[in-house]
Amino acid sequence: TPPMIGSIPLIGCFHKFATDPLGLVRKSYDKVGDAFTLYLMGFKMTFLIGPEAQSVFFRGSDEELSPKEAYRFVTPVFGPGVVYDSPTEVMYEQLRFVKDGLVLSQLKKSVGIISEETEKFFEEKWGDSGEVDLLAEMNKLTILTASRCLMGSDINKALGQASNLADLYHELEEGLNPISFFFPNLPLPSFAKRDAARAKVAAIFDSIIKARRRSTEPRDDVLQVLMTSKYKDGSVLDDEKIVGLMIGLLFAGQHTSSITSTWAGFYMFNNPEYLEQVLKEINDYHVEENNGEINFDGLRKMTRLETIIREVLRLHPPLIFLMRKVMEPITYKDFTIPAGHLVAVSPAVGMRLDSVFKNANEFNPKRFDPENDESKTPFSYIAFGGGKHGCPGENFGILQIKTIWSVLLQKYDLKLGSVPKPDYTNLVAGPQAPCKITYTRKQKYFNKYRFNPNPSFYTN
C-alpha cells in the first residue's frame, strides 16, 4: 500500500487536513512522492498527484473507482435518485441527458441570453459608479444567466414571487463543506438551513415544470431537453428527478463560474498587458466586426481571454479535490490501493508542479498558446477533471465567463485591488471575501479600443 501519513491514533492527520488541506497534500507529495494515503478519522484517502498518477484515477472504470460512493454526500442537495444516488446505469443515462442539454447548438443560443441578462443586471443594479464586492456580484449575476439558459424566461416569472435564488443557493453551498463530506447528516444548523433552502428551490423549479406541462408554447432549453429525454426503456424522468438535475446543474455551474470570473478579473487588472490584449479582442471581434453585439463567433475568437481563464483555473481550480471510492483493488507502480480506500486527485496541487507547468506558481496565460502549449501531457490539466466523468459544462462555463467580461469591460472602467488570497474553507474554493472593486460607467459605450499604459489606472 502507499505510504501512510498521520500517526495519531483514530484522528490520524484530520486536524491538519481540516485547517490546511492543500498544504498537507503538497507537503506529503514533496516528502513521499506521487502516491500516499492520509489517515483521517477512520477514513483512508489515497492521493494520486501528477499526470502519471492522475491518469490511473481518470482511466479507472466506475466499477473499480466509484464516483457514486464518493459523492453520496451531495444527495441532500441534489435529491434522492439523482445522478450519484441512482443505480450506475441510470446515472449514466441521466448524465447523457445533461450532456444532450449542453450541446453546441444549445450553447450558441445561450450567448444572446447571457449578454442580455448581463446588460440588464448592470443597468439595474450598478448605475453610473460605485463600490461592490466582485465575488458577490458575480454570484448574483451567474445564477441569473445560468438559470435563464437552463430554464428560459420561466425562471424570471417564477422568481417574481419567490425569494432570492442566489441567497438560497448560498445556503445550499454552506451546507456542503468538508464536514458534510464525512458526516452529511449531523444535526448542525448549516445542514438544517441547507435542507430548508433545498425545499424552497425545489418548490420554485417544480412550479416551473408544472406550468410548462400545462402550456403549449414551444420551448427550447436545457429543461425542455430533460423533460423530453427518454431512458432506454422508453420511460421519462419524473418531475422530482428533473428538479434534482436542475438543482445539480445549477450547483455544478454556478459557483465554479462565478469564482473563476472573479479570479479572471483580478488577474487581468493586476497584469495590464493581458488586459490590453482582451480589450483589443473586444474591440476587434465585438465592436469593429459586430457593432458591439456579442455573438458566439466573436467569443470564440477571443483566444487571449480564453487562455487567461484557463490559466486562472490552473492556479485556482474551484474543485480542489476530486474523489472516488475504491471498489476493486487497483495498482499504481509498486503499490496496491485496496478496496475501501477513498482515492483522490487534487487539481490545486497537481497543476502547480514545476515538473509539469514551468514556474507553476506564476500567472502566464501564454503557456496555453498553441506554439508552446504546456497542457499537452494527458491528465496534466485537470481543472475540468477528465475521462468519462470530465465536466460536460466546460464550454458553457467558459462561454459564460467570456460573455460577462465582454459586457463588463465594454460598459465600465474598473479598479481592482491586488489578487486576493484563496479561501479553502468551502468545498468549492474561491477568493477570500471581500473582493472590493470600484467602477465608473464609460463615457461612451466602448466605441473605440482604449488602453491606459499607466498600470495604476487599473488597480486601487
Residues that bind ligand HEM (CB under 6 A): 67, 95, 98, 249, 252-253, 256-257, 260, 313, 318-319, 322, 383-385, 389, 391-393, 396-397
Q: Which cell goes with 393?
A: 459544462
Residue 249 beta carbon to ligand HEM: minimum distance, rounded to whole angstroms: 5
Compute the CA torsion angle 398, 401, 407, 409 (nearest 10 deg). Answer: -110
Nearer CB in complex with ligand HEM: 13/383: 383
Smallest distance, ligand HEM to C-beta of residue 377, A? 17
The distance of closest approach from Cβ of residue 223 to ligand HEM in the complex, given in angstroms and rounded to an integer, is 12
Of 38 and 319, nearer to ligand HEM (C-beta) is: 319
Radius of gyration of the chain (CA): 22
Burial of 182 (C-beta count, 10 Å sphere; 0-12/13-18/19+): middle
Give me the least distance between CB of 392 and ligand HEM, in Å please. Answer: 5
d(CA 437, CA 130): 8
Beta strand segments in 376-418, E: 412-416
Q: How many residues appear in the chain?
A: 460
Residue 137 CA, chain-centre distance (Å), reads: 16
| Residue number with the smallest Cβ distance to ligand HEM | 393
The β-bridge relationship of strands 35-40 and 4-5 is parallel
DSSP 284: I
Q: Report the residue number, 175 or 397, with the smaller CB distance to ligand HEM.
A: 397
Cβ closest to ligand HEM, residue 24 vs residue 245: 245
- In the chain, what is the greatest distance between 2 CA atoms, to the nearest angstrom? 67
Looking at the Cβ atoms of 166 and 391, the one nearer to ligand HEM is 391
Query: Does 391 show up as a binding residue in the annotation?
Result: yes
* Nearer residue to ligand HEM within complex by CB, 389 or 441: 389
166 Ramachandran zone, left/alpha/beta (phi>0; psi -120 to 50): alpha
The distance of closest approach from Cβ of residue 397 to ligand HEM in the complex, given in angstroms and rounded to an integer, is 3
C-beta separation of 166 from 159 below 8 A: no
CB of 257 to ligand HEM, least distance (A): 5
Binding residues: 391
Binding residues for heme: 391
